[in-house]
A = this chain, B = another copy of it.
Amino acid sequence: MPKLKKHLVIFQPSGSRGYVEDGKTLKEASRELGVDLETICGEKTTCGKCKVRVEEGHFERMGIESRSGHLSPIGQQEKKFFDRYENQDGHRLACVAEIHGDVLVFVPEESRVGRQIVRKSATERAIEIKPAIRKYFIEMTPPTLEDPLGDWERMTGALEEGFGLTDISISFSLLKTLQQVLRESDFAVTVTVWKGREIIRIESGLVEKSYGLAVDIGTTTVAGYLCDLGTGEVVATESMMNPQVSYGEDVMARITYAMMHDDGLDKMHQTIIEGLNTIAARVSAQVELQPTDIVEVVLVGNTAMHHIMLGIDPEHIGLAPFAPTNHTSLDVKAADFGLAILPTANVHILPVEAGFVGPDNVGVLLAEEPYHQDDLLLIIDIGTNGELILGNRAELLSCSCATGPAFEGAHVQHGMRAAPGAIENIRIHPKSKEAFFKVIGHGSWSRVSSEVKAKGICGSGIIDGVAEMLRAGIIEKSGRFNKAITSKRLRSTEDGQPEYVVAWKHQTTIGQDITITQKDVRAIQLAKGAMYAGAKAMLRKLGREQPDKVILAGAFGSYIDKKRALALGLFPDCGLEDVYAVGNAAGDGARIALLNVDKREEAQRMARQVEYVELTVDPAFQKDFAEAMHFPHMTDTFPHIKQFLRASQPSTRATVPEGKTDGG
């Protein structure tokens, strides 16, 4: 046997190199050298996914020459896949270009398997695209009397021959359609394979795109993100009020509803399934797809939302010892789950950490990855319920604290959701005790424009207001109104409790003054006290005084004023430059798990690794809680906001901007 001629092939940007036999294709070379090159059609010059570029004239200094001429000539069929620019620039399809000399080949981003997209967050982070599904285009010869092999064996044979796939299964419902789809498509189909083992979709001809849906089911809001599973891009977003709110505003109310009504669970379950179907229909419609084009779903939510959406009674997560039905992540077929998308699509539900720390918190973990950090992170996910994570590479704790809905503007005299007309910023002159405010939907401060009219105060407005009242001395560290101060804005309600007027009747659209009452301050104290005590319990467990960084997750975290939140002691003292707001980290985590199947394993592992701290059995908790009710704290020191709280020198002008600013 004559020795075969070999040529040097180098792939960029990976730098993989090796000697490859003359006549092999670039795709074959890529396999030999371990370079992942995209292909759907199985090297049949049909999909055009394996585009590469030959870099000419390189390493001549090394005596090696790379030339387009070192490959087999380009054919008409191949040329069609390139535009004029690409044709001039040495582009080829790796599946047909044969190697006849040394070549340096550049693999463009779009031809790489495992492309990355960049997620914008506190620290930018890249997500590797590795979805649970992959598409394969296969062409089969139809059966004959000499070769009457069954359709299914014909298809699995083609998948094994073309792509090396073995042990593939198919769901019963799809098997029933196999005969027809193969004959309608002349035995040329694109199959979508889930986790390399199950065919979940068969489409006629070559179809490239695949879409998945990530949904964060909050107690109050449901947000869905439709993603291109090839590029990772979010192609459509929809959010809606959680339709379960009519059965109760918070988690405990809904659990109670399920306990008190025989059909309570069933009703709430149906309601959220309908909600999810509405989201699926709307995001699909936005980009002119059908809901059945959604081939994979990832869901997160707190443990109660998790149980209810699965149709599992939430009773026992509402009662001590708060044991959930399951911790592990789940994969459920869309048809079994009741989702009106592709029936064979997989619905992945992230795991549960504990009775009150659900898949949404696991989503936060995935998004923020404290377990990959050296710094000790305190991650606060502020929603109707507060979940806290404290940890780093070495240790990982979580806890849940009953903050109540005060941070969301509920159970507050003039509280409202963060919607147009809500006061979101408040400033109080330390000397005059005069108030100025800004409302959502209007860029100016009330002292600048008389057109700024308020309807109520949202969560971030309350934080601002109470912090400014503290700074101006209107309330004391204990939260009590200072009776020594006199101002026309300070007065008593009908039932005798003190209140502070933020907006006068003429500045509102509700025909009455908007105030912050003693009770409102108490609600904030209870909420922040619980949260702080939770952080404290975890810090004590790790023998630490304070975290290195504080991450505020949740939409609310994005809008509060970090300095004023710290002034109230929402979290332990910390440099303001080390406090980050990251938005809907739970939703980000759901998206990450949708786009990268390995992250689901990571989620499963981390959810079991994180140690849940049950505050109700912590003997120090009551004392911690009582001390943390003070602003910012009864005993702990807050050097980073000492200057701010001193409130004597700085003019209001310094803190209250004159002009328009961005709302939000």
Which A residues have a C-beta under 8 Å from some C-beta of B?
A: 143-154, 172-173, 175-176, 178-180, 310-313, 315-316, 320-328, 330, 332-333, 336-337, 352, 354-355, 612, 614, 616-617
Contact = CB atoms under 8 A, between A and B. Distances in A.
Nearest to A171: B336
Contacts of A311: 176
A321 B152 contact: no
9 contacts: A145-B616, A145-B617, A148-B612, A149-B327, A150-B324, A150-B327, A151-B323, A153-B328, A172-B333
A355 B148 contact: yes
A276 to B, nearest CB: 16
Contact of A316 (B153, B179, B312): B179
Q: How many copies does the complex hold?
A: 2
Contact of A148 (B146, B315, B321, B336): B321
Contacts of A178: 325-326
B617 A327 contact: no
Contact of A325 (B151, B315, B327, B333): B151
A273 to B, nearest CB: 13
A355 B175 CA distance: 17
Given A150-B326, A328-B153, A313 B145 contact: no
Contacts of A326: 150-153, 175, 178
A352 B150 contact: yes
Closest 9 pairs between A and B when the two form their complex, measured CB to CB: A143-B323, A152-B326, A150-B327, A145-B321, A148-B321, A150-B324, A148-B323, A143-B321, A172-B332
Contact of A328 (B152, B320, B330, B332): B152
A143 B355 CA distance: 12
Contacts of A316: 179
Given A145-B614, A179-B312, A179-B316, A325 B172 contact: no
A327 to B, nearest CB: 4
Contacts of A176: 310-312, 325
Contacts of A614: 145-146, 148
Nearest to A312: B176
A321 B153 contact: no
B179 A148 contact: no
B320 A152 contact: no
A549 to B, nearest CB: 29
B325 A150 contact: yes
A643 B173 CA distance: 59
Contact of A323 (B149, B313, B327): B149
A172 to B, nearest CB: 5
Given A152-B326, A152-B328, A336 B143 contact: no
A166 B364 CA distance: 29
Contact of A144 (B143, B180, B315, B321): B321
B175 A312 contact: yes
A176 B314 CA distance: 11
A401 to B, nearest CB: 16
Given A172-B330, A172-B336, A312-B176, A323 B354 contact: no
Contacts of A144: 321
Contacts of A310: 172, 175-176
A168 to B, nearest CB: 11
A152 B324 CA distance: 9
Contacts of A328: 150, 152-153
Nearest to A143: B323
A152 B327 contact: yes
A140 to B, nearest CB: 11
A323 B172 contact: no
A336 B313 CA distance: 24
A152 B519 CA distance: 43
Nearest to A612: B148
A596 to B, nearest CB: 23
A402 to B, nearest CB: 15
Contacts of A175: 310, 312, 325-326, 330
B152 A322 contact: no
Given A152-B328, A325-B151, A354-B148, A179 B313 contact: yes
Nearest to A307: B179
Contacts of A617: 145-146
B180 A148 contact: no
A173 B336 contact: yes
Nearest to A336: B172
